[in-house]
Amino acid sequence: MTTTTVDLFASALHFHPDGDVRAVERQMTSSSSGAWQIATFHVETNADVHADHWEMHPEAEEAVCCLTGGIRLYFRPDAPGGTEGMVQLQAGAAVIVPRGRWHRLELDAPSDLMSITLRHGTRLEKRTDTH
């Protein structure tokens, strides 16, 4: 068996239903591979985490993990005129975003983040209520 190291900040890991694990190019949009993606990012600004967009994964939950730094994860209101929910994460903490729940991130500090989800059907929508 040959082993290869993978730079998690340059590639993603795809875990396939047949048990295969492959290092691949990170994909932040919808994927039809059927694989769960683990992707790690170093982020410096809110632009690096699409703070001006809502994201939603219709086919799976997402684990958003804060490895270093600190972030705020916002949930879109369930009803028009409602307020956003917010969870603050410090280094070493994670939150599980429910399947189909619109969410976005903002940074408290430059951070290293990890996202684990099934990307199939992933949607992004421009945030229209920016302040």
CATH number of domain containing 115 = 2.60.120.10
Residue 75 has phi, psi (to 5 degrees) of: -110, 135
Predicted confidence at residue 103, as pLDDT, reads: 97
Predicted confidence at residue 27, as pLDDT, reads: 72
pLDDT one digit per residue (tens) for the chain, 131 residues: 688 899 999 999 999 999 999 999 887 666 777 899 999 999 999 999 989 999 999 999 999 999 999 999 999 998 888 999 999 999 999 999 999 999 999 999 999 999 999 988 899 999 886 44
Whether 82 maps to a domain, the answer reads yes
Whether 7 maps to a domain, the answer reads no
Whether 6 maps to a domain, the answer reads no
Residue type, 61: E
Domain ranges, residue 65: 12-126
Whether 56 maps to a domain, the answer reads yes
Whether 101 maps to a domain, the answer reads yes
Whether 95 maps to a domain, the answer reads yes
Q: Is 9 left (phi over 0), alpha (psi -120 to 50) or beta?
A: alpha
Predicted confidence at residue 78, as pLDDT, reads: 84
> Three-state SS for 47?
helix
Q: What residues form DSSP beta bridges with 95? A: 64
Q: What pTM value is reported for the model? A: 0.89
